[in-house]
């Protein structure tokens, strides 16, 4: 029994500790914190009618309040609703919107009521409700009359305050009237086109006024009417990129009919900088509420080869392509590339298009460059000269065959230096050498014919003359010639004993000197010998 009880307890514990199956859940959109920053800034009510309402947008963006409504309440119950119907319309930042019963206020730009807001009981509160049905604001203890907020800050929007703490009679406003601004509605499309983009301008000198020294975007108005550019802004970048002062340029001014316009500065006035690794350029409305997809242009990456080149639209074949000739002027884009060598082109006779009247062709790059004030006032070069584009100095159009002065009859032209050099030969123009001279073939100079017998000083006895240098040198024993009295060996006669006597004398002297030096030692030895004899 005890084992059975223990097993039941263990089974029950396992059931209690086992994980329960997950219950089914539904996924819904999370709640969105919504604050439109639109509130009632002024209004007028009578005993039973809401005559007019003034709304204010305190944000920094245009706001649409289409589908919003203003409710009139009595004792907490909605007794009147004023619907706001403005599809595609926006209140601009820090601007006002006035709605009114047109039988009471008949002015523009007041927006008329769709239907009067009238109720048989007096209003005691007003509500602003957004399109989602959320109450954005409530004004309590409303009194009949025309009222305006004492200020637009949050200080005068406290619902717990008394009505008179937040509102004052409209007579306190100057002028004492409702404020109304035109509503903003983005254009559905724009006729303005992007025709040329310079994403990697050439480095220029600080004082170079050329328009292609900075990145730019070129626009075109193809219509026959002047277009107001203040409705547009230029965007550079990619989808979902945050708007910054660098990639969003607010346009201004007017673009005449059938004319081109250049955007090369940002809204701050700084030079425009376009990402040269490729991207997109397009136009939007001034506030970014509408994007005009027909203006989206993708441009390629501008590598080191495309420095100073423009990505432009070629109307002749309706394609976008690179051109090495930028055209930041009121004229269509021009399509030229540097002249290729005959090895790289199929047609060696291809020619570059002529530069404009106010341009010259750089001989090093074959690109057209605008003639600035520094070149337009220079004196024209002569017919046999050309202007160096780096120094603006005239330089002679010269070749060795046509402009060098001919050499004299006895001269020739050195092909390396183009200088004249005398025609000289050993047989025709050189002065003959004297009878006792010869001509050095390496230098063509005369040199004296010298011989050992005639001009050289005789060598001293025991010397000989070196045939290579003509200098005297000592005669070596190995090369001495045989003489009439050769050396003979000494005969072995009695006179040879003289040497032996001399040797004996030297030995005697040496022994005497040794005896003198060692006299003390020798005497000591002799004394010991003598002493030893006496002992015996």
**What is the domain partition of the chain in residue ranges?**
38-172, 193-337, 361-396, 432-475
- Whether 481 shows a pLDDT value over 60: the answer reads no
CATH 3.30.70 assigned to 193-337: no
The predicted model gives 237-245 an average pLDDT of 88
DSSP track, 253-294: SEE-TTEEEEE-B-TTSSBP---TT-EEEEEEETTSS-EEEE
Q: Check if 38-172 and 193-337 are the same fold.
A: yes
pLDDT digits (tens, 9 = 90+) for 486-496: 444 444 444 54
pLDDT reading at 376 higher than 70: no
Q: What percent of the chain has pLDDT over 90?
A: 40
pLDDT at 198 over 60: yes
**19 pLDDT higher than 90:** no
Tell me yes or no: is domain 38-172 CATH 2.60.40.1260.
yes
Pick from 44-53, 184-193, 426-435: least confident: 426-435
CB 335 within 8 A of CB 319: no
Residue 83 has pLDDT above 80, yes or no: yes
Contact 218, 272 (CB under 8 A): no
Band of pLDDT at residue 403, cut at 50, 70 and 90: low
Q: Which residue has the higher pLDDT, 435 or 225?
A: 225
Q: Facing residues of 314 across strands? A: 319
Report pLDDT digits (tens) over 305-359. 899 999 999 999 999 999 999 999 999 999 976 544 434 444 433 455 667 767 7
Residue 27, pLDDT score: 66
What pLDDT shows up at residue 104? 80
Q: What is the pLDDT of residue 374?
A: 45
pLDDT surpasses 70 at 271 = yes
pTM of the model: 0.55
User: pLDDT tens digits, residue range 436-471?
Assistant: 787 777 677 787 775 544 567 888 888 888 877 778
- Calculate mean pLDDT across residues 288-302: 94
For residue 261 the two structure tokens come to 């316009």
**Predicted pLDDT at 114:** 76
Q: How confident is the model at residue 231 (pLDDT cuts 50, 70, 90)?
A: very high
* 353-365 per-position pLDDT tens digit: 667 767 776 665 5
What's the mean pLDDT in 153-180? Answer: 90
Q: CA nearest 336: which of 371, 373, 308?
A: 308
Residue 223: the pLDDT is 96
Q: What is the DSSP string of 178-221?
A: ------B---S----EEEEEESSPPP--TT---GGGS-EEEEEE
Mean pLDDT, the chain, whole residue set: 79
Nearest-angstrom CA–CA distance, 364 and 342: 17
* DSSP code at position 331: S
Model pLDDT, residue 483: 39
pLDDT at residue 68, rounded to an integer: 94
pLDDT tens readout for residues 24-61: 666 655 554 445 589 999 999 987 788 999 999 999 99
């Amino acid at each position: 029994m005890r084992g059975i009880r223990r097993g039941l307890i263990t089974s029950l514990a396992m059931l209690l500790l086992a994980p329960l199956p997950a219950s089914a859940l539904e996924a819904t959109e999370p709640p969105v914190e919504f604050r439109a920053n639109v509130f009632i800034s002024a209004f007028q009510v009578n005993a039973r009618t809401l005559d007019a309402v003034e709304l204010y947008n305190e944000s920094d963006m245009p706001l649409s309040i289409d589908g919003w409504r203003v409710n009139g309440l009595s004792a907490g119950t909605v007794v009147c609703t004023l619907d706001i119907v403005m599809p595609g319309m926006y209140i601009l930042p820090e601007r006002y919107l006035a709605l009114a019963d047109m039988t009471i206020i008949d002015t523009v730009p007041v927006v008329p009521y769709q239907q009067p807001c009238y109720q048989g009981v007096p209003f005691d509160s007003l509500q602003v409700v957004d399109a989602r049905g959320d109450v954005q604001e409530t004004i309590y203890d409303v009194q009949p009359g025309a009222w305006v907020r004492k200020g637009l800050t949050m200080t005068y929007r406290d619902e717990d305050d008394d009505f008179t703490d937040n509102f004052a009679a409209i007579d306190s406003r100057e002028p004492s009237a409702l404020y109304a601004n035109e509503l903003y509605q983005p254009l559905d499309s724009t006729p303005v086109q992007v025709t040329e983009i310079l994403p990697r301008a050439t480095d220029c000198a600080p004082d170079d006024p050329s328009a292609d020294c900075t990145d730019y975007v070129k626009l075109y108005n193809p219509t026959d009417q002047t277009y107001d550019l203040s409705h547009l802004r230029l965007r550079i970048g990619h989808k979902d990129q945050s708007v910054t002062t660098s990639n969003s340029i607010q346009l201004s001014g007017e673009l005449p009919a059938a004319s081109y316009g250049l955007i090369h500065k940002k809204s701050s006035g700084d030079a425009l900088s376009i990402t040269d690794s490729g991207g997109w350029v397009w136009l939007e409305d001034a506030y970014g509420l509408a994007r005009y997809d027909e203006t989206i242009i993708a441009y390629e990456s501008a590598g080191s080869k495309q420095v100073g080149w423009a990505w432009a639209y070629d109307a002749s074949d309706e394609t976008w392509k690179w051109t090495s000739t930028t055209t930041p002027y009121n004229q269509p884009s021009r399509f030229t590339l540097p002249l290729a060598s005959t090895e790289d082109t199929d047609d060696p006779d291809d020619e570059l298009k002529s530069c404009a009247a106010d341009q010259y062709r750089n001989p090093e790059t074959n690109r057209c460059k605008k003639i600035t004030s520094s070149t337009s006032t220079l004196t024209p070069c002569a017919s046999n000269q050309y202007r160096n584009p780096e120094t603006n100095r005239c330089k002679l159009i010269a070749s060795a065959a046509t402009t060098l002065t001919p050499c004299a009859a006895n001269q020739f032209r050195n092909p390396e230096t183009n200088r004249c050099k005398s025609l000289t030969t050993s047989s025709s123009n050189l002065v003959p050498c004297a009878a006792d001279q010869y001509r050095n073939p390496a230098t063509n100079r005369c040199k004296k014919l010298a011989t050992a017998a005639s001009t050289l000083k005789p060598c001293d006895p025991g010397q000989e003359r070196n045939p290579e240098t003509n200098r005297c040198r000592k005669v070596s024993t190995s090369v001495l010639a045989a003489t009439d009295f050769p050396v003979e060996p000494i005969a072995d006669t009695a006179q040879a004993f003289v040497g032996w006597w001399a040797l004996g004398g030297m030995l005697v002297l040496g022994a005497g000197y040794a005896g003198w030096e060692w006299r003390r030692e020798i005497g000591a030895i002799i004394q010991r010998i003598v002493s030893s004899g006496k002992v015996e």
